[in-house]
Structure 1
């Protein structure tokens, strides 16, 4: 079973802009349905922790992730650190009252999922938002650190994907039930253009949104992604990679290769390539490489740990 619409190693999904709008609409519909049915349709705390298998993975994780961030706990009965971490994850999940779900996956019984996520050791904790997977941490951790990770995950889910959680009958239900803001028609036009493959039209639509509201974070992300897709659309990947390998001092070649790296999910390679280019160059070439690196930070997201690490590396090179 191969999960659909999912990046298994932190790959950047360049359809995430469209997914964010769809996820926001689905979440808003779900909130309205819950509100219409009253307390009887609220999610019980016991339903916030789910045992997931290869058979129900798509339904319980991928589909639910359109409404709520799903935290995945890879564990095994023989793993002592798993037994320490598991109760912490369950307790925190219930305390967030529908802002996150917890999917428990027994690695012994679900080896295919274990391999697909590239898990190196257990306990290992991942998250899925809007169908997209991202690693969180590995090994047992104290509750205050796990809570911080949950807080960051919830913020990323809402800001980048429009995923705000489920309505529950427990503490925090009022916050989870807050109505989502309607999507900006200009932003929706950009999403539609992106879906049709009209990259130039999408770029222009997102620029129109930002001209009226320069602080719109979703439009910034969407524009960065659409511009990246437009840049790589007509590239010959093999020729670009050969040019970059043959001419490490060619800034333009390294920049094009970095774009392809990000689209292919090799985010660390892209960042490392451009940091090295900044280190080796000066003047206009250095500034060109630096600016492209900052643009790719926007594509991946400022909260992503790979961006945080690359920003530190860039700072060391520049200063």
Structure 2
């Protein structure tokens, strides 16, 4: 297995501009001609929220963040497309071309290409880097569908549900333009009417996290920056957000717990509050949450 290509953001050359245009044209054509949910999609900033995050509330969504420059990426792309087309919409595969849409790759916070991330219930549940044999890939997906799929509503059941609140389209439009404050305001308005709606709480808190992280406007790797300044609480917060979005919540939890052990007073309380906020994005029974809460108790006392 070759070492995964490192993803480095920077100025786009003409080939990347062409690839960006082609990716968006392909996505538009797919949306215009598709009937019902497509098993395989190209992920863009425009369809990220609807076809990845919200779709993962219904079935697992497997996202490949890759590049045509990598043979491993291209093989994974071929294998995943063939597997999903025979899976009867038990899960969906999305492809992110990191060259064509670097802002989407940055939103996932990947550190290497290719990276495959599985989402369920609106959040990352597992991931791996680099190429995999198709048999290993099939086994990994089967476990994902078996373990995560039954916890979701399913595409057929979701189609039979009542129409969703039209205000969610306003929130989606705001997220697509990077107006996180507007999206948060919509979610808060809905929560004022239904304060126990867990999906809306998660959507609002996720929007808050994305606002803090601001992946499109970031010019440095937040994890590298934090590791270079271990005493900078704000940089540790940003790195934890990035690790969380990248599908490595345990790293985010451990980062903040380790930071707590070095602090006292109000600063320690501030870190605890941020940790509790991230923990709240998971089910309380999740073993990762249980383990983190145990470590947090030790760090506090």
Interval of TM-score (by shorter of Structure 1 and Structure 2): 0.5 to 0.7
Residue ranges of structure 2 left out of the alignment (5+ in a row): 1-39, 60-78, 93-131
In structure 2, do the counterparts of structure 1 residues 113 and 296 end up closer, same or farther at CA, with 3 Å as the change threshold? farther
Rounded to whole Å, the distance in 2 between the matches of 1:296 and 1:232 is 13
Q: How does 1:164-179 map to 2 (within 5 A)?
A: 164=154, 166=156, 179=160
SS at match of 2:85: helix
SS at match of 2:270: helix
Q: Quick check: 1:58 aligned with 2:84?
A: yes
Out of 200, 203, 208, the position equivalent to 1:222 is 203
- The answer to whether the Cα contact below 8 Å between 1:24 and 1:180 also exists between their aligned partners in 2 is no
Q: How does 1:18-29 map to 2 (within 5 A)?
A: 19=52, 21-22=54-55
SS at match of 1:285: helix
Out of 100, 114, 134, the position equivalent to 1:112 is 134
- The answer to whether the Cα contact below 8 Å between 1:224 and 1:298 also exists between their aligned partners in 2 is no
In structure 2, do the counterparts of structure 1 residues 300 and 237 end up closer, same or farther at CA, with 3 Å as the change threshold? farther
Rounded to whole Å, the distance in 2 between the matches of 1:249 and 1:177 is 46
- The answer to whether the Cα contact below 8 Å between 1:243 and 1:253 also exists between their aligned partners in 2 is yes
Q: Quick check: 1:273 aligned with 2:255?
A: yes
SS at match of 2:91: helix
Rounded to whole Å, the distance in 2 between the matches of 1:183 and 1:18 is 15
Residue ranges of structure 1 left out of the alignment (5+ in a row): 7-13, 27-52, 67-109, 129-135, 137-149, 158-162, 167-175
- The answer to whether the Cα contact below 8 Å between 2:49 and 2:172 also exists between their aligned partners in 1 is no
Structure exhibiting the larger radius of gyration computed from Cα positions: 1
Match of 2:287 in 1: 305
Q: CA deviation at 1:199?
A: 2.2
- The answer to whether the Cα contact below 8 Å between 1:193 and 1:202 also exists between their aligned partners in 2 is yes
TM-score (norm. length: structure 1): 0.51
Match of 1:210 in 2: 191
In structure 2, do the counterparts of structure 1 residues 64 and 195 end up closer, same or farther at CA, with 3 Å as the change threshold? farther
Q: CA deviation at 1:297?
A: 2.2
Match of 1:295 in 2: 277
In structure 2, do the counterparts of structure 1 residues 262 and 4 end up closer, same or farther at CA, with 3 Å as the change threshold? farther
SS at match of 2:238: helix
Question: With CA pairs under 8 Å and 6+ residues apart, which has the higher RCO, 1 or 2?
Answer: 1
Match of 1:252 in 2: 234
CA deviation string 1:77-99 (max 9, x = no partner): xxxxxxxxxxxxxxxxxxxxxxx
In structure 2, do the counterparts of structure 1 residues 24 and 295 end up closer, same or farther at CA, with 3 Å as the change threshold? closer
Match of 2:176 in 1: 195
Q: How does 1:14-163 map to 2 (within 5 A)?
A: 15=48, 19=52, 21-22=54-55, 56-61=82-87, 63-65=89-91, 111-112=133-134, 114=136, 126-128=143-145, 154-155=150-151, 157=152, 163=153
Rounded to whole Å, the distance in 2 between the matches of 1:197 and 1:229 is 9
- The answer to whether the Cα contact below 8 Å between 2:183 and 2:207 also exists between their aligned partners in 1 is yes
Rounded to whole Å, the distance in 2 between the matches of 1:255 and 1:193 is 24
Rounded to whole Å, the distance in 1 between the matches of 2:257 and 2:286 is 17
- The answer to whether the Cα contact below 8 Å between 1:187 and 1:209 also exists between their aligned partners in 2 is no
Rounded to whole Å, the distance in 2 between the matches of 1:210 and 1:125 is 36
- The answer to whether the Cα contact below 8 Å between 1:258 and 1:274 also exists between their aligned partners in 2 is yes
In structure 2, do the counterparts of structure 1 residues 304 and 116 end up closer, same or farther at CA, with 3 Å as the change threshold? farther
SS at match of 1:307: helix
Rounded to whole Å, the distance in 1 between the matches of 2:200 and 2:251 is 26
The size of the alignment, in residue pairs, is: 199
Rounded to whole Å, the distance in 1 between the matches of 2:203 and 2:150 is 20
SS at match of 1:126: helix
Q: Quick check: 1:236 aligned with 2:219?
A: yes
SS at match of 1:290: helix
- The answer to whether the Cα contact below 8 Å between 1:187 and 1:219 also exists between their aligned partners in 2 is no
TM-score (norm. length: structure 2): 0.53
